[in-house]
Amino acid sequence: MIAVLKKEINSFFASPIGYLVIGLFLVANGLFLWVFKEEYNILDSGFASLEPFFTLAPWIFLFLIPAITMKSFSEEIRQGTLELLLTKPLSTFSLVLGKYLGALILVLLALLPTLLYVVAIWQLGKPEGNLDLGVITGSYLGLIFLGACYTAIGIFASILSPNQIVSFILAIFLCFIAYFAFDALAVLNLFSIGAFGIEDVGISEHYQSISRGVIDTRDVIYFLSFISFFLALTNLSLTNKKLL
């Protein structure tokens, strides 16, 4: 697994892809939060708060993470190297986990420079340092869990097609459904399904819950279960390819 993990990280930074993805993520956040005169602009909001960043991030992640994961298995399938990997003394789950962790590390590296936003908000507060570190810590933890869920979906989507563009689009669709669709269904309240807590099935409810700064074990269990489910699906798909 470690060898696969190292190979994934090296492949990202051996080409411009890794730098481009991280750069685009930071530029997009910077423009929306500090430049564009929109609802997410922190300077125009009148409050020294990072809430706009944590509201915007799920949308940017919706495109960023599928761009990272789309080549994970798709490229191996297209080049015919997946069969070679499957002949190695390596379990299919170790292969899946190595690919997953490699992509997740890149997502975490993209998040790391955003800690500068915390410093900026600290300086902008009146009095200086007037911010809730508990909420910010919880929000970052929620963002890490969200990125981990999107990455698990993206890895699963990448094994379904040898075409990276197809994997990219499929991952965006599945991430959108997982984050936004269940909240939308709850609002529609069709046939009173909202009464059954259908919004709890989606990622959004748990992301918003943990972003309040309260670490609820139910949210943590949900995220870990969600990640495990999609990694298990990926492992099942890989196992089926190995048997063919």
Q: Taking a C-beta distance cutoff of 8 angstroms, is the pair 1, 90 a contact?
A: yes
CA-based torsion, 199, 202, 204, 209: positive or negative: positive
| Peptide bond between residue 113 and the one before it cis (omega within 30 degrees of 0) | no
- Note the pLDDT tens digit of each residue in 41-65: 877 776 767 888 888 888 999 999 9
pLDDT at 167: 93
- Note the pLDDT tens digit of each residue in 74-118: 888 888 888 777 777 778 888 999 999 999 999 999 899 998 888
SS3 content of the chain, % helix, strand, coil (to 5): 80, 0, 20
Identity at 170, one-letter amino acid code: L
pTM comes to 0.90
Domain ranges of the chain: 2-243
* Higher-confidence position of 166 and 130: 166
